[in-house]
Amino acid sequence: MLEFLLAHYRGILAFHVVAIISWMAGILYLYRLLIYASERRAEHEKIEDLLQTMTRRLWKAITLPAMIAAWAAGLSMVSANPSLFTMGWFHVKFFCVILLTISTIYAGFLVKKVQARESLPTGKALRYLNEVPTLLMIIIVIVVITHPWA
**What is the spatial distance between Cα 120 and Cα 105, in angstroms, rounded to a whole number?**
15
- Mean pLDDT score of the chain, rounded to an integer? 95
Q: How far is CA 102 from CA 12, 21, 40, 95, 106, in A?
A: 24, 17, 26, 11, 6
Buried b (16+ CB within 10 A) or exposed e, 76-107: bbeebeeebeeeebbebbbebbebbbebbeeb
**What is the spatial distance between Cα 37 and Cα 147, in angstroms, rounded to a whole number?**
39
pLDDT in tens, 51-75: 999 999 999 999 999 999 999 999 9
pLDDT in tens, 99-121: 999 999 999 999 999 999 999 99
pLDDT in tens, 22-54: 999 999 999 999 999 998 766 678 888 999 999
Short-list 121, 117, 126, 122, CA closest to 48: 117
Q: Where are the domains of the chain?
A: 2-146
The percentage of residues in the chain with a pLDDT greater than 70, rounded to a whole number, is: 98
Within 10 angstroms of residue 64's Cβ, the number of other Cβ atoms is 20
Short-list 146, 144, 149, 148, CA closest to 16: 144
